Amino acid sequence: MVVKSQRNTGLSTALVMALTVLTWSVLSALSRTESAALTHSESTSARPTAVWKVSTLRASTSSKTSTLFTTNSKGKQRWLAKGDCSLSGSRIKTKKSGKCDLTVKISARSPYSSRTVRKKFTIVPAPESFDPYASVSAAVTAVGTTSEGLLSTSDGRTRRYRTYVPAGLPAGTAVPLVIALHGGLGTSSQFAANSGLNGFAESNRFIAVYPDGIGNQPDGTGYQTWNGGYCCGPAATQAVNDVAFIRDLVAELRRTMSIDPKRVYAMGHSNGGILSYKLACELSSVIVAIGVQAGSNIITGCQPANPVSVFHLHGTADTNMPINGGKGTGISTTNFVSARGSVDAMASVNGCNVSSPASFITSNPDVTALSWKSCASNSEIRFVTVKNATHAWMGHAAQSAGSSSYVGTPYPNLDATRAILSFLLSKSR
């Protein structure tokens, strides 16, 4: 009996061991199957989308990460920032300039797998606000002295001009000079009245000079024009050297008045704006900056010895000198260069990046302003357009009903004189 019991016990032990081995084999197989299933599940999970909402980052700003990047995954996002930027909570803060390297790590969450994306951004300056009258005081009553003069020019002509000197200029201090060039068919006295420049000269302490063009009468009187190249009127057909006239006039004024040679500017309307562009091209040793309304740059091969800053103002409803170029509704048959073509040409010769102007933020919805600032010798090109503005000098009442019928009703919500002065008086050589 004892022997039999021992034999049965041996069999039971063997059976238990066999069952144990079998159980482990089954569990191991199940584990491998489950692992394989999980691996298959992960490998077949969809890849989440990853879309950057911006191509550049604004300088000195703090942006929510949700405004920069989007994905269809609900997985947790982990952000990393390197370079000229930093991560603060859920915001990316940028410095004034440089590069920013952003990385987003998205955790896996059904039905999407994990994903890591990275992008390098250039930090660009934030848009400036356009203040059309920055640093220029409003006009006051002109209580200074107006005088008229004659000048014998180097091309053998006798030319007329009028000068306004404000009262109370600081003694012994050189002041800026603004050369105000009337439009075609205008005169020095007409432009002085229409622009209101004397009142600004009084409040901002500069001397204003108003040259006269060449008249349509044999004695040189009558409606005046300038030779800006292929325009306009008798001045162009007679090939009058208006550049020499302006050069001689500035020399004469500097001889008799205390004028700062580093702050000599030209301001022109229409035909006067065309001549202003010519002065920028051919008299850059004298002219530091020009400001025009409804001008056109018709000079081919313009190569100024010194970069000249340009402010160009143009109305979209100007039919006399259309903003997009071509022939206008005035008496001139000139095929005008477009406003943008004019400023692009100057941006090019000044060494600016023509294709990348900066946009200003404007408070007036009618106004659009572009600026080229990365130019040679700190020069600048600025192009301002005004929706529905006509050819008339902006912000100033028409001098007669006849002028309104010819050039349109003046746009009331931007003062061309003050806006141009704001630009000109900020420039120095």
Q: pLDDT tens, 74-125? A: 999 999 999 999 999 999 999 988 999 999 999 999 999 999 999 999 998 8
Cβ partners under 8 Å of residue 411, min gap 6? 315, 366, 386, 388, 389, 390, 392, 394, 395
Task: Give the number of residues written for the chain.
Answer: 429
Assess whether 102 and 177 both reside in one domain. Answer: no
Full domain range(s) for residue 175 = 145-424
On whether the CB atoms of residues 77 and 104 are closer than 8 A, the answer is yes
Q: Where residue 60 sits, what CATH number does that domain have?
A: 2.60.40
- Percentage of the chain beyond pLDDT 90 is 78
pLDDT at 158: 93
Q: What is the average pLDDT across 200-206?
A: 98
Which strands make up the sheet holding 77-83, listed edge to edge? 57-58, 115-124, 98-106, 77-83
Assess whether 242 and 120 both reside in one domain. Answer: no
More confident residue, 130 or 20: 130
Assess whether 252 and 220 both reside in one domain. Answer: yes
In a domain, 4, yes or no: no
Give the H/E segment covering residue 100.
strand 98-106
Domain tally for the chain? 2
Assess whether 174 and 120 both reside in one domain. Answer: no
277-294: pLDDT as tens digits: 999 999 999 999 999 999
Residue type, 208: A
On whether the CB atoms of residues 309 and 280 are closer than 8 A, the answer is no
Assess whether 320 and 357 both reside in one domain. Answer: yes
Rounded-to-integer distance, Cα 195 and Cα 394, Å: 9
Q: Other CB atoms closer than 10 Å to residue 325's CB: what's the count? A: 16
Assess whether 155 and 63 both reside in one domain. Answer: no
Assess whether 384 and 282 both reside in one domain. Answer: yes
Assess whether 166 and 199 both reside in one domain. Answer: yes
pLDDT at 172: 86
In a domain, 138, yes or no: no
Assess whether 152 and 184 both reside in one domain. Answer: yes
Q: Where residue 224 sits, what CATH number does that domain have?
A: 3.40.50.1820
Assess whether 164 and 118 both reside in one domain. Answer: no
In a domain, 136, yes or no: no
Q: What is the average pLDDT across 160-175?
A: 94
On the question of pLDDT at 20 being above 60, the answer is no
On the question of pLDDT at 189 being above 60, the answer is yes
In a domain, 374, yes or no: yes
Q: Which residues pair with 367 in a beta bridge?
A: 386
